[in-house]
Structure 1
Amino acid sequence: MILIYLLKVSACTLMFFAAYQLLLVRLTFFNLNRIYLLLMLVLSFVIPAVTIENRHEVTVASQEIPFKIAYSNDGVVEQDFVDESSAANNSLNWDQLLMYGYCSILAVLVFRMLFVMVRIQIQLRRHAIDRSGAVILVDEKSTIKNCSFLNQIIIDSSLQYEEKNLVIKHESVHVEQLHAVDKLLVNLVAAILWFNPIIYFWRNAIGHNHEFLADRETSKVADKKVYAFLLLNLAMPEKKILINSFSKLPLKNRIMMMYKEPNAKLQKLAYVAIIPVLMICCMAFTNRKEIILEKKLTGNQASADAPIKPNVYAMNYLNSNIKVNPNAAFNEVEPTLVIDAGHGGKDGAVSALDGQKEKDLNLRAVKILKEEAEKRGIKVILTRSTDQFLSLRDRLPKQEATAFISIHHNATLANAAVPFGGVEVYVSKLNSNIKTAEDLGAGILSKLKQLKGMEVRDSLKNANLLLLRESKIPAVLIELGNISDGKTLHYINQEKNIQRISNLILDGFVAFSKRGC
Structure 2
Amino acid sequence: MIDFLIKSTASLFVLLVIYHLVLENEKMHQFNRFYLLFALVFSLIIPFITIEIIREITNPIITQNTIKIEGEATAIIADSINYWLLALYSSYGLITSLLLIRFIRNIVKLLSKAKSTSPIDYKNGQLILVQEETLPYTFLNTIFINKTDYHNRKIEAELFTHELIHVTQKHTFDILFIESLKVLFWFNPIFIFYKKAIQLNHEFLADEKVVKSYNNVPFYQNLLISKANANETYYLASNLNYSVTKKRLIMMTTTTSTARAVLKKGMLIPVLTALFFSLCTKVVAQEKKEKTTKESTKQSKSSDEVWKNTVFIFRDANKKITAQKKYNELTDKEKNSIPPPPPPAIRSTDKKEKQVQKNKSETIYIDMTSDGPKMSDRKKVSKQDMPPPPPPKEARNSQDQDLIHNSAGITEKPDYPGGIEEFYKFVGKNYTISKEMQDAKVKGRVYLTFIVEKDGSITDIRNIRDCGYGTGEEAIRVMKLSPKWTPGKINNDNVRVMYSLPLTIKSGQ
TM-score range, shorter chain: 0.5 to 0.7
- Shift in CA distance, 153/79, structure 1 to aligned 2, threshold 3 Å: closer
- Shift in CA distance, 166/512, structure 1 to aligned 2, threshold 3 Å: same
- Shift in CA distance, 316/51, structure 1 to aligned 2, threshold 3 Å: farther
> Which residue does the alignment assign to 2:204?
212
- Shift in CA distance, 514/182, structure 1 to aligned 2, threshold 3 Å: closer
Aligned equivalents of 1:6, 1:397: Cα separation in 2: 18
Aligned equivalents of 1:109, 1:53: Cα separation in 2: 39
Answer whether contact 2:225 2:244 (CA < 8 A) is retained. Answer: no
Letter in 2 for 1:235: A
1:9 Cα deviation after fit? 1.1
> Which residue does the alignment assign to 1:433?
none
Letter in 2 for 1:132: D
Are residue 241 (structure 1) and residue 230 (structure 2) matched? no
1:206 Cα deviation after fit? 0.6
1:242 Cα deviation after fit? 1.2
Answer whether contact 1:49 1:287 (CA < 8 A) is retained. Answer: no
What do residues 130-170 of structure 1 show as CA deviations (whole Å, max 9, x unaligned)?
53263223233266x51110121222222253725332221
Match of 1:256 among 208, 227, 250: 250
1:243 Cα deviation after fit? 0.6
Answer whether contact 1:155 1:168 (CA < 8 A) is retained. Answer: no
Are residue 141 (structure 1) and residue 132 (structure 2) matched? yes
Letter in 1 for 2:250: M
- Shift in CA distance, 56/139, structure 1 to aligned 2, threshold 3 Å: closer
1:196 Cα deviation after fit? 2.4
> Which residue does the alignment assign to 2:475?
401
Letter in 2 for 1:323: G
Identity %: 23
- Shift in CA distance, 66/136, structure 1 to aligned 2, threshold 3 Å: same
Are residue 31 (structure 1) and residue 30 (structure 2) matched? yes
Aligned equivalents of 1:79, 1:31: Cα separation in 2: 58
Match of 1:178 among 170, 173, 183: 170
1:516 Cα deviation after fit? 11
Letter in 2 for 1:171: E
Aligned equivalents of 2:101, 2:226: Cα separation in 1: 34
Are residue 284 (structure 1) and residue 278 (structure 2) matched? yes
Q: Give 1:249-398 correspondences, 5 Å limit.
A: 249-258=243-252, 260-268=253-261, 269-293=263-287, 295=289, 307-308=403-404, 321=442, 323-324=444-445, 335=450, 373-374=456-457, 376-377=458-459
- Shift in CA distance, 110/288, structure 1 to aligned 2, threshold 3 Å: farther
Letter in 2 for 1:250: V
Aligned equivalents of 1:61, 1:112: Cα separation in 2: 61
Give the paired residue count.
350
Aligned equivalents of 2:155, 2:257: Cα separation in 1: 33
1:291 Cα deviation after fit? 4.2
Letter in 1 for 2:221: A
> Which residue does the alignment assign to 1:482?
none
> Which residue does the alignment assign to 1:190?
182
- Shift in CA distance, 400/227, structure 1 to aligned 2, threshold 3 Å: same
Letter in 1 for 2:35: Y
Comparing 230-239 with 184-193, greater Cα deviation is found at 230-239
1:64 Cα deviation after fit? 6.1
> Which residue does the alignment assign to 1:410?
none
- Shift in CA distance, 209/322, structure 1 to aligned 2, threshold 3 Å: same
Comparing 115-124 with 157-166, greater Cα deviation is found at 157-166
SS where residue 165 of structure 2 aligns?
helix
SS where residue 445 of structure 2 aligns?
coil
Answer whether contact 1:373 1:379 (CA < 8 A) is retained. Answer: no
1:275 Cα deviation after fit? 3.0
CA RMSD of aligned residues (A): 4.8
Comparing 102-111 with 199-208, greater Cα deviation is found at 102-111
Answer whether contact 2:65 2:501 (CA < 8 A) is retained. Answer: no
SS where residue 513 of structure 1 aligns?
strand
> Which residue does the alignment assign to 2:428?
none
- Shift in CA distance, 26/372, structure 1 to aligned 2, threshold 3 Å: same
Letter in 1 for 2:173: V
Answer whether contact 2:432 2:474 (CA < 8 A) is retained. Answer: yes
Aligned equivalents of 1:139, 1:500: Cα separation in 2: 83
Aligned equivalents of 1:9, 1:227: Cα separation in 2: 40
1:39 Cα deviation after fit? 1.3
Unaligned runs of 5+ in 2: 297-398, 408-430, 463-469, 490-494
1:26 Cα deviation after fit? 1.2
Answer whether contact 1:140 1:158 (CA < 8 A) is retained. Answer: yes
SS where residue 183 of structure 1 aligns?
helix
Unaligned runs of 5+ in 1: 337-368, 381-395, 408-474, 476-497
- Shift in CA distance, 52/135, structure 1 to aligned 2, threshold 3 Å: same
Answer whether contact 1:372 1:503 (CA < 8 A) is retained. Answer: no
Answer whether contact 1:148 1:174 (CA < 8 A) is retained. Answer: yes
SS where residue 377 of structure 1 aligns?
strand
Are residue 232 (structure 1) and residue 225 (structure 2) matched? yes
Aligned equivalents of 1:397, 1:324: Cα separation in 2: 9
Q: Give 1:6-85 correspondences, 5 Å limit.
A: 6-58=5-57, 61=60, 63=62, 65=64
1:40 Cα deviation after fit? 1.5
1:510 Cα deviation after fit? 5.9
1:512 Cα deviation after fit? 3.7
1:248 Cα deviation after fit? 2.5
Are residue 132 (structure 1) and residue 121 (structure 2) matched? yes
Are residue 169 (structure 1) and residue 158 (structure 2) matched? no
Aligned equivalents of 1:78, 1:279: Cα separation in 2: 44
Letter in 2 for 1:254: R
> Which residue does the alignment assign to 2:328?
none
> Which residue does the alignment assign to 1:123?
113
Answer whether contact 1:174 1:244 (CA < 8 A) is retained. Answer: yes
Q: TM-score, normalised by structure 1?
A: 0.55
Answer whether contact 1:147 1:155 (CA < 8 A) is retained. Answer: yes
1:50 Cα deviation after fit? 1.3
- Shift in CA distance, 378/252, structure 1 to aligned 2, threshold 3 Å: closer
Letter in 1 for 2:132: K
Aligned equivalents of 1:398, 1:116: Cα separation in 2: 47
Q: TM-score, normalised by structure 2?
A: 0.56
1:217 Cα deviation after fit? 0.8
